[in-house]
Amino acid sequence: MSRVSPLKAATLHDVAREAGVSLITASRALSNPALVSDKTIERVRTAVEATGYIPNLLAGGLKSRRSLMVAGLVPTISVPQFLPTVKALTETLDAAGYQLILGQSGYDHSREQKLLNTMLSRRPDGIVITGLVHSPAAREQLRRVGIPVVETWDLSDRPVDMMVGISHVKVGSAVAGFFLARGWQRLGIATGDDHRAMMRREGFIAAAGREVPSAIVPAPSSVEMGRRAMAELLEKDPHIQAVYCSSDAFAHGLMIEARSRGLRIPQDLVVCGFGDADFAAHIDPSLTTARVDGAAIGRIAAQMIIDRCQGRAVPQPVVDVGFQIVERESTGGAAA
Amino acid sequence: MSRVSPLKAATLHDVAREAGVSLITASRALSNPALVSDKTIERVRTAVEATGYIPNLLAGGLKSRRSLMVAGLVPTISVPQFLPTVKALTETLDAAGYQLILGQSGYDHSREQKLLNTMLSRRPDGIVITGLVHSPAAREQLRRVGIPVVETWDLSDRPVDMMVGISHVKVGSAVAGFFLARGWQRLGIATGDDHRAMMRREGFIAAAGREVPSAIVPAPSSVEMGRRAMAELLEKDPHIQAVYCSSDAFAHGLMIEARSRGLRIPQDLVVCGFGDADFAAHIDPSLTTARVDGAAIGRIAAQMIIDRCQGRAVPQPVVDVGFQIVERESTGGAAA
DNA sequence: CTGTTAGCGCTTTCAG
DNA sequence: CTGAAAGCGCTAACAG
């Protein structure tokens, strides 16, 4: 590998000299052109080309106290459920000139505080967190730094700052209500052990009015875990009729296992997932699921951060994006 | 100090005063403790606690010219195939004190250059790119900035700098060889239109020795696209025997569609995917696929960047992580 | 519209 | 082992 000698990158100083203007004029020509004459802008632009100048946002941010970075914390990037959110977040932020720094907190709460510190040391202009901030220390710290914070994918009455998500308890209740309304009595739950999934379970049990057989697996859930969970539930209740699962991949696994044991879906067993993953409508049988618009969560969260960074008030600091039970073949609905 | 104001975060200056040492001693106590007496370190630590100090890496990086950030460019975050890579990358970098800034270039090459500039303006200490850098301008620019660059998930004889991936042409050939060795003659391909998938197709066709019916869809491929692609292939050849797909989700979709048309897998049709996604072993029938260790790609890429940043030579700047055809039920193999 | 003067918070360099 | 001085590259604040 031929490494080019560490010849210093051009600075704004070089651009200014090349263009025959002062440093600050060059700066303004690039970042606030309204204050500069067209002719000067043109000369600066030419000088930028000639020198191959690439702005140094770190340097600018030091003085202006805007890093144009937003920290994004997810439990783990490999949960497909959050992908549309991360994607929309990245895109919306990018369009406004902000970049996302990604952090994975794991499902382990103790890492949260450490990761938060790491992120804060980069002086992000905002923070988007998947889930709620639970640790009081972290909540207090986030409040103190005074940057916009959005908690996502959940709702509570004590937001650190802003919030966009859904009520997981309501999702659970809605699914249980849906099952009961169809006359299915022998219910079951297969769920990951993360906070949001457990809240859905609570809502489910509350609406069912009684404890139900549960298979609880360590988050994140998967097709593989789904097969095992199905086996576990059938052991607990061989005549189980309706199972609610904490993710679509998980539900998919349950259905595969159920079928391999000769159970017909939906005739012998009905299944409902969560998230409306891209495959949910297209597997066989197609999967009934609670749909959440993850991309909207990302878009709204990004916009909240952007608005606040640009000094605009956020009209609605807590947004419930809601959910919708999409009925498909796995509960006796139509294919589409 | 009782007054807590969000206006001013504590700086190292405050810590130094609190600890009764000079600014630079406080700095060293935190970032180079070997040069400082234990007693001083202790006092600085206490002062950090007392002031709630959070280091400002932007400020330090300005002088030291190390941002401790690595830019990661993916076509889009929502391709599950790259998730293990991004995950391993994030984790390995994090363990060494580096954070990942995420950028999505889309499958549109024109965005690549723009995104690259955006990223470079953050002065990352390294860049990891999914795929090869194709544009000559971008290649030249990356060389000029002189930071470590790793191209991933592909191999070529002209790396910008370092490289860790696989030969997609070889994957295609291997799958075609595998099909032919089993005596399947009527081959087909269902593939996304991205560069890597098309390279696999070329390898497949070369090994097959002839053109084969192809269904080509815009990347990223999905279960839904898979169903459509199956329909398209059956139109082109109603007696098609073996289909190679550019992703496991895609292959899954093909199998679902084939089954819904009464075709038995593997008796009437065999299918091979790519990537060994988490569900591949657990769907029914389980999916034969070309396995690539995406996490290893991320780990190795991160380590290359770290090594170079810390002044160590990278022993092997181009790494082929290889692949492996994992035979399962979709081609007549065993369940596991 | 353009320029001058001060730093932003930290680390490097060079002295003790 | 500790410290003082000198910036890193840029932009806010205030002149002209």
- The predicted structure's pLDDT at residue B335: 73
Confidence (pLDDT) at B305 = 97
What is the rounded distance in angstroms from the CA atom of residue A138 to the CA atom of residue A208?
A: 35
CATH of the domain at A236: 3.40.50.2300
Q: Do B108 and B204 sit in the same domain of this protein? A: no
Task: Report CA dihedral (A175, A179, A181, A186) to the nearest 10 degrees.
Answer: -140
Instruction: Let me know if residue A326 belongs to a domain.
Output: no
Q: Residue B91 — pLDDT band, cuts 50, 70, 90?
A: very high
pLDDT digits (tens, 9 = 90+) for A296-313: 999 999 999 999 999 999
Residue B326, in any domain of the structure: no
Q: Judge whether A28 lies within some domain.
A: yes
The pLDDT of residue B4 is above 60: no
Chain C nucleotides with an atom closer than 7 Å to a protein C-beta: 1-13
Average pLDDT over residues A330-336: 85
Nucleotide nearest to B12 (CA to C1'): C9
B218 and B125 within one domain: no
Residue A50 and residue A138 in one domain? no
Q: Are residues B298 and B284 in the same domain?
A: no
Same domain assignment for residues B302 and B162:
yes
For B:1-60, CB contacts with A below 8 A are 4, 6-7, 9, 52, 54-59
Q: What domain range includes position A228?
A: 168-291
- Asked if strand D contacts B23 at the CB level, meaning under 7 A, the answer is yes
Give the confidence band of B18 by pLDDT, cuts at 50, 70, 90: very high
Same domain, B176 and B277: yes
Q: Are residues B89 and B118 in the same domain?
A: yes
Report, as an integer, the average pLDDT of B65-86.
92
Q: How far apart are CA A77 and CA A265, in angstroms?
A: 32
- Name the residue in chain B with its Cα closest to that of A120: B54
Q: Which one-letter DSSP state was computed for residue A131?
A: B
Residue B99 CB closer than 7 angstroms to strand D? no
Q: What is the pLDDT of residue B9?
A: 85
Q: Is the per-residue pLDDT at A4 higher than 70?
A: no
Cβ neighbors of B288 (< 8 A, separation 6 or more) are B270, B271, B272, B273, B325, B326, B327, B328, B329, B330, B331, B333
The reply to whether B35 has its C-beta less than 7 Å from any atom of strand D is yes
Give the per-residue pLDDT at B6: 44
What is d(CA B240, CA B185) in angstroms, rounded to the nearest whole number? 9
Position B330 in a domain? no
**Is the Cβ atom of A59 within 7 Å of strand D at any atom?**
yes
Out of A54, A86, A222, closest to residue B121 by CB:
A54
Protein CA A37 to sugar C1' C2 (Å): 10
B86 touches chain A (CB under 8 A): yes
Q: Please check whether residues A285 and A173 belong to one and the same domain.
A: yes
Pair B47, B87 in one domain: no
Whole-number Å distance between alpha carbons of A113 and A138? 6
B62 found inside a domain: no
- pLDDT confidence of residue A336: 63
Query: Strand, helix or coil at A127?
Result: strand
Of the ranges A102-116, A139-153, A201-215, B85-99, which one carries the lowest mean pLDDT score?
Answer: A102-116
- Calculate how close chain B gets to A207, using CA atoms only, in Å: 32
Angle at B240 between CA B235 and CA B242, to 5 degrees: 135
* CB A33 under 7 Å to nucleic chain D: no
Q: Which range has the worst mean pLDDT, A157-166, A206-215, B72-81, B278-287?
A: B72-81
DSSP state of A72: E
pLDDT digits (tens, 9 = 90+) for B92-126: 999 999 999 999 988 777 788 889 999 999 999 99
Residue-wise pLDDT for B260-279, tens only, equals 999 999 999 999 999 999 99
**Average pLDDT, whole number, for chain A?**
93
Which residues, in sequence order, are bridge partners of residue B245?
A: B190
| In the predicted structure, residue B3 carries a pLDDT above the cut 50 | no
pLDDT tens column, A211-259: 999 999 998 899 999 999 999 999 999 999 999 999 999 999 999 999 9
Q: Identify whether B60 is part of a domain.
A: no
CA pair distance A197, A245, nearest whole angstrom: 9
Q: How many CB atoms lie within 10 A of CB B109?
A: 13
pTM for this prediction:
0.93
Give the confidence band of A7 by pLDDT, cuts at 50, 70, 90: low
Does some domain include residue A113?
yes
Does A128 lie in the same domain as A74? Answer: yes
Q: Which nucleotide is nearest to A10 (CA to C1')?
A: D9
List chain B residues with CB under 8 Å of A102. 86, 90, 99-102
Q: How far A86 CA lies from chain B's nearest CA (Å)?
A: 8
Q: Strand C neighbours with CB under 7 A?
A: A 21-25, 28, 35-37, 39-40, 59, 62-63; B 8-9, 11-13, 23-24, 27, 30-31, 53, 55-56, 59-60, 62-64, 66
CA of B64 to C1' of C3 (A): 30
Q: Is A286 on the interface with B (CB under 8 A)?
A: no
Specify whether B183 is located in the same domain as B285. yes
Q: Do A99 and B102 touch (CB under 8 A)?
A: yes
Number of structural domains found in chain A: 3
Task: Report CB contact under 8 Å: B58, A55.
Answer: no
* Residue at shortest CA–C1' distance from C1: A36
d(CA A334, CA B138): 50
Same structural domain for residues B51 and B101?
no
* A63 domain-assigned: no
